[in-house]
A and B are shown apart, each in its own frame.
Chain A
Amino acid sequence: MSDEGQPEPGTLERAVEATLFAAEEPLGVEALCAHLGGLALADVREALALLEARYRNRGVHLVERGGRWHFETAPDLAHLLRREKEQVRRLSRAATEVLAIIAYHEPVSRAEIESIRGVQTSAGTLDVLMEAGWVKPAGRREVPGRPVIYATTPTFLDHFGLASRRDLPGIDELRAAGLLDPVDEAMEAHMRFEPDDESDPQSDGQDDGQDDENLAD
C-alpha cells in the first residue's frame, strides 16, 4: 500500500470487481478476460491481485479456489450468516411424564413407557426430549422385535441438578410426600378440613382411621 493510502481503483479493477460480484459462480482468469472483451491475462491477474489486497481487511474477501475467483464473507464473520435465535419453552406435561418414566426405569422401550403411562406416546414427545438432550437411544432390547430402548444423558443430570440417578426420590418417599395419591383422593383429603365437615368430630375420627388403612396398602 502506498503512503497516500489506497489509490482510486482503476477501470479494469472496477470492472473485475463488478463482474465477480455479479457472477453466479466463481470465474477463472481466462473467463474473466473473455468476459471483459479479450484483455491480456496479465492485466486481469494484476487487477485481481490489487482487489485481493484491497479486500484483505474487509468484511468480504476476494478468494481464489482452484484457479477460480469469488467474493466470500470473511471467515471471522461467518457466524453472522447463521444466526441462532433461542426460544425457551417449558416441557409439556406429556413430555415431562415420559422423561420421568425414562429416568426412573431406564433403559426402557417405548412400549414399556406406554404401558406405564397407560396412554400412547406421540412420536414428537420422544423427539422433544432428545432435542433437549436429556434422553438418548441406548441400544435395543434383545426381545422379539428388538425395540429401541431409551436412557437419560449426563445433560439430564446437569439440567435437573442431580449428581446421579440415585438422587431421584424413591417410591416410598414419593408416597410420603403425597405424590402417589391419585388426584381425587388428594382432593378429598384436602376437602376434609374444609368447614363443611366440622359438624361431627367423632365421625371424622372414624373416617381418618380408614384413610390410614388405605395408605398402608
Chain B
Amino acid sequence: MNIGKDVVKEIKQNKVPHMNIPIRSTSNIVYDEKNLCYILGNREFSRSAGNIRHIKKMTQLVKVADFSKQLVKEGTRHVTKRELYYISESWGEKLKFDEQPESDEIVEDIEAMISEPREAINIIPNPKGSIYGDIAMRFKNPKGKMMTVNCLDTADGQQIGPRMTEAEFAKTSANIIIAIETTGMYNRLIEENAHEKFNALLINLGGQASRSTRRIIKRLNEELKLPVYIFCDADPFGLHIATVIISGSAKSAHVNKHLCTPRAQWIGVTATDIIEYKLRSDKLRDLDIKRIKELQVDPRYEKDKRLQQELKVWLKIGRKAEQQAILRYGFEFVVDKYLPAKLKELKAPGIR
C-alpha cells in the first residue's frame, strides 16, 4: 500500500495531494477474456485534497487503510464492514462515519486501489456455508497457534469462517468438489454418503455464496486442482448463484479475479431436467424472465452452448423448480441416478 507514501511525496513537493481511484461504475467494467470474468477497466477518477467534497473522504480513507494495516500486522483479528462502521466512532467526531454506506464505499475504494479483496487486509465478509468431506485443514487459532482439523471428523461439516477461509489444505483424498445451494440438499448428500460415492468435498453455499465461500472454492480449485461442480435450484436465481461462483459479479468487478473459479461447472438443476424428471414447478416471475434474457446476451456465456440451450428451454416452458424437487423419486435417487448422470455428462474424474 503506497497510499500514504504518495500523499507525503506530493506534500513534500508542495503540491496539493491527490488520489487516483479506479472507477467502479458499470461504464468502467469490462470482460476479461484471459481471466474469464468481469474486471475493472483503466478509467480512474481523481480526488484532490483541495476539494472540500473530497477532503473528508480522503482523510477517512487513509484512516481505514492505516487501521487495517495494524490488523494485518497483529495477525489474529478480523473485522466486518459493520464492525468497522461502529469502530469508527472511537476515531472521533471528524473521522467517524455517519452511515454505513460511507465506510463501505471507502473499503471498496481501497480494494480497487490495491487490487486485492478486502479479506487481504482483514476486513472480512460475514461467513456463511460449511464444508464436509475428507480434507485436513491447517489453520491459526485465535491465539496464533497452528492447528489441523479434518472436515470428515465433524458432525455436520466445518463452518467457513475467517480462519477457515485462510487455512492451508494439508491433505485430501477427494477428486472433486460439489457446491450445493441449499442446506437441505447438503444434508441430504451427507446422509446419502455422496462424499464417499463421488470422492467429493461437499460445500454448503446456503443460498448465494458468501465471498469467503467463493474464495475457498477458488483456492481448492487452484491449489488442489479439484474440479468444481455447482448444484442449484432450477431457476434463474440458482443459475445466478452458479455464475457468480464461476465469473463473479459486476458489483465486485474490482476484486473478481481473486474470487471467481472460471472452470467451475454448473450441474443444474437444468430446465431440461424439469421436463425430463417431471419436477414439481412454479411459474417464472417477470423478474426471472428478464434475468434469463440478460443471460442470453451476457458475453461471459455467449459461447456456452449448453447454457444457451437451457435458457431457451426455460423461456419455452416458463417454469422453475427447487433442487429438492428431485426427492419425488425418494432419498437415494439423487446420488444413485441424478448426480452420476450429470457428472458423467460433465466428464468429472472418477465417474463411470
Q: Do A and B bind each other?
A: no
Which residues of B are at the interface with A, using a C-beta cutoff of 8 A? Answer: none
